[in-house]
Amino acid sequence: AQSVTQLGSHVSVSEGALVLLRCNYSSSVPPYLFWYVQYPNQGLQLLLKYTSAATLVKGINGFEAEFKKSETSFHLTKPSAHMSDAAEYFCAVNPYGNNRLAFGKGNQVVVIP
């Protein structure tokens, strides 16, 4: 079954520092890959997605992710963390033609002033 792995459930980052969240997927075929974000007391919302077009994907709020097939990775980055980035971030995958998403365990990001 297709799945994603996110390491480190809690990630602390200083305000203004690089945010890096790692996601590795297991798949025998190039998948669709996604990052979702959940702000406190809100529903999950799509941050960005990879659908086999450009390997560097830009999302909302200054986030971007790079698809690397050789490393089966789709890491999420933001050059400079802001206090408003404190949230939980989920990597997700779905195979072609499938209507369900498989989510990773998530990373809780804490931004330190």
* Residue 64: exposure state from Cβ atoms within 10 A (0-12, 13-18, ≥19): middle
**Per rule CB under 8 A, is residue 98 in the interface with another protein?**
yes
**By CB under 8 A, residue 14 contacts another protein:** no
For residue 57, what are its two tokens?
Answer: 């994907």
CB nearer to another protein: pick between 17 and 102: 102
When the beta carbons of 72 and 94 are compared against another protein, the nearer one is 94
Q: How far apart are CA 34 and CA 28, in angstroms?
A: 17
Residues that bind another protein (CB under 8 A): 6, 9, 32, 34, 41-46, 49, 51, 90, 92, 94, 97-106
